[in-house]
Structure 1
Amino acid sequence: MKIVISNSVGEPIYEQITKQIKNLIFNEELCAGDSLPSIRSLAQELKISVITTKRAYEELEREGFIETIPGKGSYIAGQNKELLRERRIKLIEDKLLEAVEESRLIGLSLADLKEMLDILYESNK
């Protein structure tokens, strides 16, 4: 499992970890039943605090992405593909809503916002 931590993105480290593990699950690189590194092991590998890694795992467990079995470790939880898709769509909707709100603050028209989205969508294929 490859996780990359960046100090320059302005996003908390635990969120970077949770986001990357979620992406691995969404992309089926991690599947139900796969084990995750121990909290201590991942912290050592990433050269970060055990507390930060623990927070990431707790967040993933709270959201139903992983299951932790005391004394055995953390595993990818069985996921309903449609539920995963719905969660991802909700995340996109939230980000688009934020973009709409920001565009209104600066007086950007809906047409300009759509054009920006079209350009970004086409340029990131």
Structure 2
Amino acid sequence: MHIPLDPSAPEPIYEQIRARLAEAILRGDLPAGEALPSIRVLARDLRVSVITTTRAYNELVADGLVDAVRGKGVFVRAQQPDQVRSRALERIDGALTEVVRAARTAGISAEDLHDRLTYALEEEDR
């Protein structure tokens, strides 16, 4: 499985793996019931540590996107759109709480945060 990774990106490698797999699941590229590559195989293919792929898979389990079946593997879970949205909002709320704390500590205004969010959204759309 090919997952583009950027070692110089600010997000950790495990998060890049989690995000790319989550996108593929939510787009339907990885249908419900499909097995993901084993942790060891994915680590080898991506040339990362087993710990990194394990963390990415654990995050996907926590997100409710996959199920880990002991001795069998990790499988894509059927997704309910309202549950996907709810889980996404929980992650966003947590991330925004951290951003607000960091901004307040550094004296960054709400207007500056808004500008940065707008910029990030525009960059993502490109």
TM-score (norm: length of structure 2): 0.74
Distance 1:11 1:111 in 2: 24
1:82 is aligned to: 82
Q: Secondary structure at the match of 1:25?
A: helix
Q: Which amino acid aligns with 2:103?
A: S
Whole-Å Cα distance in 1 between the matches of residues 62 and 123 of structure 2? 35
Between 1:84-93 and 1:94-103, the stretch displaced more is 94-103
Pair 1:45-2:45 in alignment:
yes
CA RMSD of the aligned region, Å? 2.6
Where 2:58 maps in the other structure, the secondary structure is helix
| 1:62 to 1:91, Cα distance in 2 relative to 1, 3 A | closer
Which residue does the alignment assign to 1:105? Answer: 105
Q: What is the alpha-carbon distance in structure 1 between the residues aligned to residue 10 and residue 114 of structure 2?
A: 27
Letter in 1 for 2:100: V
Deviates more, 1:77-86 or 1:89-98: 89-98
- 8 A Cα contact 2:39 2:50, kept in partner: yes
Offset from partner CA, 1:72-91 (integer Å, 9 cap, x none): 43210122211111111222
Q: Structure 1 regions of 5+ residues with no counterpart?
A: none
For 1:74 and 1:54, how far apart are their aligned partners in 2? 11
Letter in 2 for 1:21: L
The number of residue pairs the alignment matches comes to 125
CA distance 1:40–1:122, shift in 2 (3 Å): closer
The structural deviation recorded for 1:9 is 2.5
**1:1-125 correspondence to structure 2 within 5 Å:** 1-122=1-122, 124-125=124-125
SS of the counterpart of 1:82? helix
CA offsets 1:56-95 (integer angstroms, 9 cap, x no match): 3233234432123345432101222111111112222222
Amino acid at match of 2:87: R
Which letter maps to 1:87?
R
